[in-house]
Chain A
Amino acid sequence: MSLIGINNLIKEYKTGNETVLAVNNVSLSIDQNEFVTLLGQSGSGKSTLLTMLGGLAKPTSGKIVVDNIDVYELPSKSIADYRHEYIGFVFQSFQLIPYLTVEENISLPLSISDLTNQEQKQLVKLILEKVHLEKKAKRLINELSGGEQQRVAIARALINEPMIILADEPTGNLDSKTSEDIMKIFCELNNVGKTVVLVTHNTAFKKYSHRSIELSDGRLVNL
Chain B
Amino acid sequence: MKLYNISLQSLRRRKAKTIFLIIGLILSVASVVMLLTVSKNVNASIAANLDEFGANIIITPKTDDISINYAGMSINSVSYNNKELHTNDVEKIRTIKNKDNISIVAPKLLSVEIVNNKNVLITGIRFNDEMKLKKWWNVNGKIPSEVNEVLIGSEVKKKLGIKLNRQLKIRDKDFIVSGILDATGSSEDGMIFMDINESQILLDKKDKVSLIEVAALCYDCPIEEIVRQTSSVLPGANVTPIKQTIESKMTAMHRFEHFSFGISAVILIISMLIVFTNVNASVTERTKEIGIFLAIGFRRSHIMQIILLEVITASLLAGLIGYVIGSLASRFIVPVLTMDESIRIVYDYSLPLLSVGFSLAIGFVASIYPAVRATRLDPISAFRSL
Q: Is the CB of A108 within 8 A of B296?
A: yes
Say yes or no for B5: interface residue by CB 8 A criterion. Answer: yes
Instruction: Map CB proximity to B onto A149-165 as digits: 1 under 8 Å, 0 otherwise.
Output: 00000001000100000
Chain B: residues with Cβ within 8 Å of the partner, total of 27
Name which of A25-33, A64-72, A74-82, A178-186 contacts chain B. Answer: A74-82
How distant is A194 from chain B, measured CB to nearest CB, in Å? 16
- Give chain A's interface residue range (CB within 8 Å of chain B): 20 to 34
Once the chains bind, are A56 and B1 in contact (CB under 8 Å)?
no
Whether the pair A84, B1 counts as a contact (CB closer than 8 A) is no
Q: Given that A80-B299, A89-B295, A97-B289 are contacting pairs, would A111 and B1 also be in contact in the complex, using a CB cutoff of 8 Å?
A: yes
* Max count, chain B CB within 10 A of own CB: residue among A77, A85, A100: A100
User: Complex formed: what's the CA distance from A104 to B291 in Å?
Assistant: 17
Q: Is A57 an interface residue (CB 8 A)?
A: yes
Known: A57-B379, A57-B380, A108-B1. A99 touches B296 (CB 8 A): no
**Cα A44 to Cα B383 with chains together (Å):** 17
State how many angstroms separate the Cβ of A120 from the closest Cβ of chain B: 6
Contact check: which of A57, A81, A117 meets B1 at CB < 8 Å? A117
Q: Are A56 and B379 in contact (CB under 8 A)?
A: yes
Residue on A nearest B293 in the bound complex, by CB: A108
In the docked arrangement, what's the CA distance between A127 and B289, Å?
Answer: 23
Task: Tell me which of B2, B297, B386 has the highest count of chain A C-beta atoms within 10 A of its own C-beta.
Answer: B297
Q: Which residues of A contact B302 (CB under 8 A)?
A: 112
- Against B, the Cβ 8 Å flags (1 = close, 0 = not) of A127-152 are 00000000000001000000000000
Contact B9 A104 (CB under 8 A): yes
User: In the assembly, what is the distance between CA of A112 and CA of B304, in Å?
Assistant: 13
Interface centre among B13, B295, B299, B380 (most CB of A within 10 A): B295
Nearest CB in chain B to that of A103: its residue = B1
Q: Encode B314-347 as 1/0 by CB contact (under 8 A) with A.
A: 0000000000000000000000000000000000
Interface of B is mostly: helix
Q: Is A99 touching B10 in the complex (CB atoms < 8 A)? A: yes
Contacts of A104 in B (CB 8 A): 1, 5, 9
Is B158 at the interface (CB under 8 A from chain A)?
no
State whether the Cβ of B3 lies closer than 8 Å to any Cβ in chain A.
yes
Residues of chain B contacted by A125 (CB below 8 angstroms): none
Complex contact B294–A80 (CB within 8 A) = yes
Question: Does chain A have a CB within 8 A of B157?
Answer: no
In the complex, are the beta carbons of B1 and A120 less than 8 A apart?
Answer: yes
B81 to nearest A CB, angstroms? 86
Chain B 9-42: CB-based contact to A (< 8 A → 1; otherwise 0): 1101110000000000000000000000000000
A51 part of interface (Cβ distance < 8 Å)? yes
- Is B252 an interface residue, CB under 8 A from the partner? no
- Residues 85-118 of A at the B interface (beta carbon under 8 Å): 85, 87, 89, 91, 93, 95-100, 104, 107-112, 117
Within 8 A of A (CB), among B364-386: 379-380, 383, 386
CB-defined contacts of B383 to chain A, threshold 8 Å: 51, 56-57
Known: A56-B379, A99-B14, A110-B1. A81 touches B297 (CB 8 A): yes
CA distance A76 to B302 in the complex (A): 13
Q: Are B297 and A85 in contact (CB under 8 A)?
A: yes
Do A54 and B1 contact each other (CB < 8 Å), given the known contacts A99-B9, A99-B14, A100-B9?
no
- Residue A201, interface by CB 8 Å: no
A206 at the interface (CB under 8 A from B): no
Query: Which of A91, A96, A111 makes the CB contact (< 8 A) with B5?
Result: A111
Residue picked from A87, A91, A97, A156, most chain B C-beta under 10 Å? A97
**Cβ of B380 and Cβ of A56 under 8 Å apart?**
yes
Q: Which residues of A contact B288 (CB under 8 A)?
A: 95
Contacts of A110 in B (CB 8 A): 1
A140: chain B residues at CB < 8 Å are 13
Q: What string of 1s and 0s marks CB contacts (under 8 Å) between B44-70 and chain A?
A: 000000000000000000000000000
A80 and B5 in contact, given A97-B292, A99-B10, A99-B14 (Cβ under 8 angstroms): no
| CB-defined contacts of B5 to chain A, threshold 8 Å | 104, 111
Q: A56-B383, A95-B386, A100-B6 are in contact. Are A84 and B296 (CB under 8 A)?
A: yes
Chain B residues 283-313 with CB under 8 Å of chain A are 288-289, 291-300, 302
Residues of A close to B299: CB separation below 8 A: 76-77, 80-81, 112
**CB pair B295 A54 closer than 8 Å:** yes
Question: How distant is the Cα of A221 from the Cα of B354 in the complex, in angstroms?
Answer: 67
Q: Which among B3, B5, B10, B288 has the greatest number of chain A C-beta atoms within 10 A?
A: B5
Interchain CA distance A54-B291 in the complex, whole Å? 12
Which residues of chain B from 184 to 237 have any CB-CB distance to chain A below 8 Å in the complex?
Answer: none
Q: In the complex, what residues of B have CB within 8 A of residue A108's CB?
A: 1, 6, 292-293, 296
A/B interface sample: 26 pairs, CB < 8 A: A51-B379, A54-B295, A57-B380, A76-B299, A76-B300, A80-B294, A80-B298, A83-B294, A84-B296, A84-B298, A85-B297, A89-B295, A89-B296, A95-B291, A97-B6, A98-B13, A99-B9, A100-B6, A107-B1, A109-B296, A111-B1, A111-B2, A112-B3, A112-B299, A117-B1, A160-B296
> Would you list the 7 A-B pairs with minimal beta carbon distance, nearest first?
A84-B297, A99-B13, A83-B297, A107-B1, A80-B299, A56-B379, A111-B1
Known: A56-B379, A80-B297. 4 other contacts (CB 8 A): A57-B383, A77-B299, A80-B294, A93-B386
